[in-house]
């Protein structure tokens, strides 16, 4: 999700790098190595190293190729007061970071839809009660 940098300490970059190093530069959920090109099936945890034929677009059906970019997840979200200490941080690949934050993404999407709906109704001259 977009990072609200006001929630992060000035040394966040160093803390983030340390968390990734502590994890051996692998996703702590699926073990995918940082910056590796991998192939995986949509919605599945399993992955394999992508080979030359995968990179040429020859993936098996249902697979996609991606480059792993580890990011650091707060187990207790920073915006909910979660600390930036190692015990609260996990290095995760894109898939697993998205999954870890899914409830927050769903809540944010619902709030955005509600706000846009209020703005649309207000713009149309309708009385907005909520
Ligand atoms: Zn992962």
Per-residue pLDDT of the chain (130 residues; tens, 9 = 90+): 567 788 899 999 999 999 999 999 999 999 999 999 999 998 889 999 998 888 777 677 788 999 999 999 999 998 889 999 999 999 999 999 999 999 888 888 899 999 999 999 888 887 766 5
Residue 22 lies in a domain: yes
Q: State the total domains in the chain.
A: 1
Q: How close is the Cα of 28 to the center of ligand 1, in Å?
A: 7
Residue 18 lies in a domain: yes
The tokens describing 120, both together, are 């649309």
pLDDT at 130: 59
pLDDT at 40: 93
- Say if pTM beats, i.e. exceeds, 0.95: no
In a domain, 130, yes or no: no
Q: Cα(6) to centroid of ligand 1, in Å?
A: 27
Residue 54 covered by a domain: no
Phi-psi group of 54: left, alpha or beta (phi > 0 → left; psi -120 to 50 → alpha; rest → beta):
alpha
Q: Which domain holds residue 119?
A: 5-34+69-123
In a domain, 51, yes or no: no
| Tokens 């991998």, residue located | 38
Distance 63 CA to ligand 1 centre (A): 15
């Amino acid at each position: 999700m977009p990072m609200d940098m006001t929630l992060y300490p000035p040394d966040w970059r160093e803390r983030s790098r340390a968390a990734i190093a502590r994890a051996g530069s692998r996703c702590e959920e699926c073990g995918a190595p940082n910056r590796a090109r991998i192939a995986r099936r949509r919605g599945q945890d399993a992955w394999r190293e992508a080979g030359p034929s995968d990179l040429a677009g020859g993936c098996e059906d249902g697979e996609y190729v991606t480059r792993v970019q580890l990011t650091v997840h707060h187990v207790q979200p920073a915006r909910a007061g979660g600390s930036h200490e190692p015990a609260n941080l996990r290095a995760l690949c894109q898939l697993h970071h998205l999954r870890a934050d899914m409830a927050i993404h769903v809540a944010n999407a619902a709030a955005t839809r509600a706000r846009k709906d209020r703005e649309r109704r207000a713009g149309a001259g309708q009385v907005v009660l909520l």
